[in-house]
Structure 1
Amino acid sequence: MTTDHLRTPAAVLARHPGDALDKPAAAARALWDALTTADALPPPDTDPHALVALVREAGHHGCPAPLAETLLVAGPLLARAGLAVPDGPLTFARGPLDVRFANVDTASRVGPPGAAGTDDAVHVSGTLSRVPWARAAQAVVVLTEGPGGPVLLALEPDEYRLLEGANLAGEPRDGVVLTDTAVPADRVRRVPEAVLAEAEWRAGLARAALIAGAARRCVELTVAHTAARSQFGRPLSHFQAVKQEEAKLIEEAALVGAAVEAAATALGDPGGAAFAAQAAAAQASASVGEITRIAHQLHGAIGFTELSPLRLATTRLWSWRDEDGNEQAWFARIGRHVVESGTGRLWPLVTGTPAA
């Protein structure tokens, strides 16, 4: 799938708007079934650039399903770890859990007792908070610390208890409770430390792509509103002050779109993907405040009403901005990345050019 082939999935997403969140699990299943029937779900070997473009469409339409988590985070991490990637919707979570090997290697003399297993099967206990769309996911992909280092594991719905929750937009953010859950070896992998960093920037890129789509929606709704709404005998869009604010709104949305586009292009470059994704996440989070301020200011009080399509976009923007880290957190990560990259790497990172 390339960006030229987004018409079919975009059309499916448009028929499943994000205002149907009174029964989110059913809405997610309906959308996923529609995408599957239309053969609109991208295969695992899809160009990453096209995956980001599809997630932007999901953000634009307020997609009621974990499309971003599936395509940009959970699926790629499972594939990297050599685990099977389920066909249905997936979600992703990070956090501390009590992880013990199910089959302890009693003959091992490395580390404390229980630090090694005869295979990768584990028992897991603990709670993961605010997991996106957990109630609608076919599997929850979890990255946590195991007895011998980081582990990636895939949990099936009958292996945990749900504590249903939601973000400001009404999207599911559920607690996942594990009580001595047995996870077989074929759904567990020990992973290198680098996967921890990759999971972080992938989650940030997923949120940035969603924000880019919702920002475009705010622009469309605001431009249409000011063109249709009249005051003092002429459309709002004819007033100079309104034109100036609209220009700022379009500029901020364009900044986010450009940053996400650059990150999507960099996904094919292992050396530059992390920095570009962090920059996109930082810019997206930083722009949300101005985008939502202008959009609501130009809509007036009507933009805050329950049935306003603008509210559906802005409440998602406010929620997504703070999930996986706000702009301050991402700017700090960018700073650490630059420092750890060594002297002389800043300019190549910023420009995407080879180091001298």
Structure 2
Amino acid sequence: MTETTSILHESINKLFNEIVNKKDLDQAETGIWADNIWKAVTIAGYLEAWDEDNQESNQISLIIGQASGWHALPIPLVETMAARHLSNKYLNLCPDGPLTIANPYLIENSSLKNSQLTGIAKNIPFARHANQLVTVVDEKFVLAPCNITQESRNIAGESRDNVSWENSEVIVGPKVTRDIIMETGAIIRSSQICGALHHALQKSTTYATERKQFGRQLGKFQSIQNYLAKMASLTAMAEAALSNTAQMQSPSSIAAAKICASEAAGEVASLSHRIHGAIGFTHEYSLHHLTRRLLSWREEFGAETWWQNKLGKIVIKTGSENLWKMITSEN
């Protein structure tokens, strides 16, 4: 971590500690837009952090993504960063306001004729709050309006809405594959998962240290120590894989990051609740804001099985003679 990224890491977490609280998270689940948080990140300049396509910007975007996951941010910060990043890269423009990104595999009955788009996109993150979204339709990069047809939420209470177009005017970019959306989505979700993993681990460690059972600290029991050790190793594995994407941003490194993050998400969510016991399931205790997001984010933009299949195809295409070189140069 460079001096610049270290300063950013400290400043963004300081800001989020000041502006994000449990009341904001609870209200967001009822559909209330966290305008104070959005204004704060806009003023801080975090929306533009990934506009450029270079290693430093990649690293900064991961730091912001992890902080977003740690604090369970109830706004489309990482989605807006990703949409601006892709729009700048493929359209040479950076739209203003909240934006989002749509999984192209969840778009149905689509048709793109010139700049007229027809189709239905499902489970779009924060679509009701976004001005526009980016996706890929008919192998073309598209910046499209968010015409909401159905509002819904994931198990974490985050908005996941359906959008439809009927000969809607869109901005069409160059020919691309759906992989660019999936890979970008995997990066932002992996970074958020890593942040939430660290926070769940910290909360579990603190609880095991402070809580006493049968006259002993909870953390003195070997089974609890095993849980914490496994959580720590899974978190470290996910973060190591994520860090590699800042340098490489290759399909294989992104696949590895999402595989590790998604696998860790399910395990850490389960183990943290085992350590906390009944209190971890109460609404008043904030652990659920992390674990419900972990269980939701692990599936978005490809679950671990989807990326395992993707990575397997990359390895087969690489060939046995180049496999060792791929492993040692990218991991």
Percent of residue pairs identical: 28
Provide closer, same or farther for how the CA distance between residues 225 and 350 of structure 1 changes in structure 2, counting only shifts above 3 A. Answer: same
The answer to whether residue 93 in structure 2 is matched with residue 84 in structure 1 is: yes
CA distance in 1, matches of 2:70, 2:204: 14
Q: Is the 8 A contact 1:2 1:47 kept in 2?
A: no
Give the structure-1-normalised TM-score: 0.83
1:214 offset after TM fit, Å? Answer: 0.6
Give the Å deviation of 1:135. Answer: 1.1
Distance apart, 1:163 and its partner CA: 1.1
**Equivalence for 2:236:** 254
Quote the residue 2:129 is aligned against: 136
Q: Is the 8 A contact 1:286 1:327 kept in 2?
A: yes
Give the match for residue 226 of structure 1: 208
Tell me how many residue pairs correspond in the alignment.
317
- Quote the Cα distance in structure 2 between the aligned partners of 1:25 and 1:84: 30
Measured in 2, the distance between the counterparts of 1:100 and 1:219 equals 46
Residues 1:6 and 2:9 aligned together: yes
* Partner residue in 1 for 2:173: 189
Which residue number in structure 2 is paired with residue 345 of structure 1?
322
SS in 2 for 1:6: helix
- Of residues 64, 84, 87 in structure 1, which corresponds to 2:74? 64
When residues 334 and 25 of structure 1 are mapped into structure 2, their CA distance, relative to the original with a 3 A threshold, is farther
1:33 alignment counterpart: 39
How far the C-alpha of 1:23 sits from its partner, in A, is: 4.7
Deviation at 1:88, TM superposition (A): 2.3
Give the alignment of 1:1-356 within 5 angstroms: 2-14=5-17, 15-17=19-21, 18-24=25-31, 26-27=33-34, 29-43=35-49, 44-45=51-52, 47-71=57-81, 73-93=82-102, 94=104, 95-101=107-113, 121-145=114-138, 150-157=139-146, 160-183=147-170, 187-193=171-177, 196-267=178-249, 273-352=250-329
Contact 2:144 2:169 in 1 (8 A): no
Question: Per the alignment, in what secondary structure is the counterpart of residue 26 of structure 1?
Answer: coil
One-letter identity of the residue aligned with 1:63: L
Cα distance in structure 2, aligned partners of 1:313 and 1:206:
16
Q: Which amino acid aligns with 2:236?
A: A
Q: Which moved more, 1:344-353 or 1:162-171?
A: 344-353
Of 236-245 and 10-19, the range deviating more from structure 2: 10-19
Higher CA-based Rg: 1
Q: Which has the higher helix share?
A: 2
How many angstroms does 1:134 deviate by?
A: 0.7
SS in 2 for 1:323: coil
Displacement, 1:129? Answer: 0.3
- Evaluate the alpha carbon distance shift between residue 75 and residue 297 of structure 1 in structure 2; reply closer, same or farther with a 3 A threshold: same
For structure 2, which runs of at least 5 residues remain unmatched after alignment? none
Shift of 1:343: 4.3
For the Cα contact (< 8 Å) 2:141–2:174, is it kept in 1?
Answer: yes
Taking only aligned residues, the RMSD between alpha carbons, in angstroms, comes to 2.0
Q: In 2, distance between residues paired with 1:211 and 1:11?
A: 20
Q: Take 1:343 and 1:96, find their aligned partners in 2: how far apart are those partners?
A: 38
Partners of 1:232 and 1:352 in 2: CA distance: 51
Contact 1:165 / 1:173 at 8 angstroms: preserved in 2?
yes
The alpha-carbon distance between structure 1 residues 344 and 32, as it changes in their structure 2 partners (threshold 3 A), is: farther
Distance 1:292 1:233 in 2: 27
CA deviations on 1:207-260 (whole Å, 9 max, x unpaired) are: 111111111111011011111111122221122222222111111111111111
Residue 25 (structure 1) shift? 5.5
User: Distance between the aligned counterparts of 2:32 and 2:83, measured in 1?
Assistant: 18
